[in-house]
Amino acid sequence: MKEELLLLISLQECDSQLVGLSAKKIKLPEKIRKMEDDFKIYTENIALNKRKYDELKAKRAEGEAHIKKLSDGMIKTRERLLEVKNNKEYQAMLKEIETAEKARGDIESQIIAIMDEMDKLSVLVKKDDETLQQALIEHEKEKKIMEDDLNAVDADTVTWTEKRIGLQKSIPANLLAQYERVKKRNNGVGVIPVWKAVCGGCHMNIPPQLYNELQRSDDLLSCPNCNRIMYFKNQEKSE
């Protein structure tokens, strides 16, 4: 293959790499941010059982405080009972104690039910905790890969830019201008392989005569449809 064409192919490789790298520079931070957000939602969801457990714990403490208040009240009422003179008052106090005892019994049953639920939840909370720890390890691992990838972008950009500058110097100005012109009109691709008479850029058929010429001659030929500079490449042969 003609030397100039080989240089153009290398130049195209540099340009394609640079396009990919600048896309990465924009997309990777977005991807990392999205991953962080998703993980935050996941963490919040997985904490639902724990939150429920804490709510029950608070409710239990509340119930216990209520029981203490009722019990203290009953002690005082019983003390007062000893000093009561008339029967009506005595009956009223007995009724008061009875009501308080009933209330205390109700709260005690509620607390037992709460503790039952807490027992069940604590099993789930423990499991959630383990799941979360595992997920966190995975999350950090994935994030690190993306961050390393992002950190490599700048260095890779420098490498490919330097390579491009070197190549550019060896390519005749008019050919370079043609490449840039065609590239600009064709989504950043100015040089394209052709195989089985199909343009690798626009996928149109190359006329048989031109296809023959492409395989034989050293002239720089362009695709009649997209104008990209063509080169013949046997896609079945590994390079």
> Which residue ranges make up the site for Zn ion (CB under 5 A)?
199, 201-202, 223, 225-226
190 vs 201, beta carbon nearer Zn ion: 201
Name which of 21 and 226 has its Cβ closer to Zn ion.
226
CA 73 to chain CA centroid, Å, is: 58
Taking the complex as a whole, the smallest distance from the CB of residue 15 to Zn ion amounts, in Å, to 17
Query: Cβ of residue 175: shortest distance to Zn ion, in angstroms?
Result: 18
What is the rounded distance in angstroms from the CA atom of residue 183 to the CA atom of residue 178? 8
Residue 102 or residue 181: which is nearer to Zn ion going by CB?
A: 181
- In the complex, least distance from residue 215 CB atom to Zn ion, rounded to whole angstroms: 16
Nearer to Zn ion, 8 or 111 (CB): 8
Residue ranges in the chain assigned as alpha helix (H): 3-46, 48-81, 87-170, 173-185, 208-216
Q: How far apart are CA 64 and CA 70, in angstroms?
A: 10
3-state secondary structure of 222: strand
Which phi and psi angles does 85 have, rounded to 5°? -95, -45
Dihedral class, residue 227 (left if φ above 0, else alpha if ψ from -120 to 50, else beta): left
Cβ-contact 13, 91 below 8 angstroms? no
* Residue type at position 219: D
Residue 200 C-beta: closest distance to Zn ion, Å: 8
Q: What does the DSSP 8-state code read for residue 207? A: P
Residue 174 CB coordination number (10 Å):
8
Closer residue to Zn ion in complex, CB, 121/223: 223
Closest approach, Cβ 190 to Zn ion, in A, equals: 11
Taking the least distance from each CB to Zn ion, the nearer of 103 and 202 is 202
Least CB distance from residue 204 to Zn ion, whole Å?
Answer: 5
